[in-house]
Amino acid sequence: MEPNREHHDLPGPSLWPIGFAIGIACLLVGLIVSWIVAAVGAALALVFAFMWVRELASARALQGPDAEAPPETGEGQPAVPAHVGEAAMPEPEPGERFPRSVFLEASTLGVGAIIGGIITVPVLGFAVAPMFEDTGHPNVDIGPLTNFEEGQFYVATFLTDAKKGEVSRRTAYVRYNGLLESQPSFTIISNRCVHLGCPVQPNGPLFDDKSKKEKDVTLIPTLPAGGFGCPCHGGQYDSEGNRTAGPPVRALDRYSYKIVNGHLVLVTTFSVGKVKGTGKDATLIKFGLRGPGQHTNNIEKWLYPLQPPH
């Protein structure tokens, strides 16, 4: 009868690495789709990584100090040590033992981590960095206040960056609303359709013979009695930019502005859910700048990916 031999088996395959990989995947996807998904992915990765490390530590503890013990031979007798017998090797000098398996394991993990970092960091940087890079919006002087007649809409075309030339030319619809609390009030509507980004046009005549031009800015009076319309897919907006028909999901975007030395200066663009009222008495439901087709309210807004700074 074979004598009883106490031994410890290594644990079977683990599912913790799979969970850790799923968590990392969710984290990367969440950085593009939603901060909530990214947070869930990070939490999963941390939990599964902890369980994985804990399992490995438990397995090593089960092996105990006998993990490096010499194997037994027949009849339950231990093998003869290398320094005993006729062909004995000199006994190793005393000192701290560092098993080769531990060294190989640490080396493999270290090299794998370095290779993974070299591959992952640049890709992750290119994918995520644009989300945190504020491209800014240069202030654009579109002329003195005397160029704008009260209640009159103007088609204003201007360059956002003179160094880039005509490729940076933009269009906005500008109306002077008069004074509001002793300050000039303007309605400045972007011509970018919020359906797919096509250029919106005024539903009324243009008076080219009364146009004004200063440097890179051109002002053409218009009469959008029927509001604004998109020639691409039929989106329609009223004179305040509210959607009235077609596929757009919200009101037209607007420009914020400031008055500097008697000149109208455009600052940044922002999105508008709805405009209540008209002219200087209008109340805007404002949002940060959204992309074409992106909702600003209700549950639909959670179904769109994060937008980079504008």
Q: Which DSSP string corresponds to 104-173?
A: HHHHHHHHHHHHHHHHHHHHHHHHHHHHH-------EEEEEGGG--BT-EEEEEEES-TTTGGGGEEEEE
Burial of 97 (0-12, 13-18, 19+ CB in 10 A): exposed
**CA dihedral over 252, 253, 258, 264, signed as positive or negative:** negative
And the tokens for 82? 């290398």
And the tokens for 196? 């797919």
Task: Give the residue-averaged pLDDT of 81-103.
Answer: 62
**Is the separation of the CB atoms in 45 and 24 below 8 Å?**
yes
- Given a cut of 60, is residue 221 above it in pLDDT? yes
Given this model, what pLDDT does residue 1 score?
47
Given this model, what pLDDT does residue 78 score?
64
Burial of 125 (0-12, 13-18, 19+ CB in 10 A): exposed
CB-facing half-sphere around the CA of 202: CA atoms within 13 A: 23
Sheet of 243-245: strand order equals: 201-202, 228-229, 236-237, 243-245
Q: How many residues does the chain have?
A: 310
Burial of 265 (0-12, 13-18, 19+ CB in 10 A): middle
Q: What pLDDT, in 10s, does the model give residues 37-81? A: 888 888 888 888 888 888 877 776 666 555 555 555 555 566 666
Task: Give the residue-averaged pLDDT of 206-219.
Answer: 90
Q: Decide which of 198 and 306 is more confident.
A: 198
Question: What global pTM score does this model have?
Answer: 0.59
Helices 16-33, 35-63: inter-axial angle, 10-degree rounding: 160
Task: Give the residue-averaged pLDDT of 164-182.
Answer: 90
Neighbours of 54 (CB within 10 A): 11
Given this model, what pLDDT does residue 193 score?
93
- Least trusted range by pLDDT, from 49-53, 239-243, 247-251: 49-53
Q: What pLDDT, in 10s, does the model give residues 110-129? A: 777 787 777 777 777 766 66
Q: 271: which strand partners?
A: 287
Neighbours of 221 (CB within 10 A): 18
Given this model, what pLDDT does residue 310 score?
47
Q: Tell me the CA distances in angstroms from 102 to 58, 67, 156, 230, one per residue in order.
A: 15, 12, 71, 68
Q: Tell me the CA distances in angstroms from 105 to 70, 109, 228, one per residue in order.
A: 21, 6, 68
N- to C-terminal Cα separation, the chain? 80
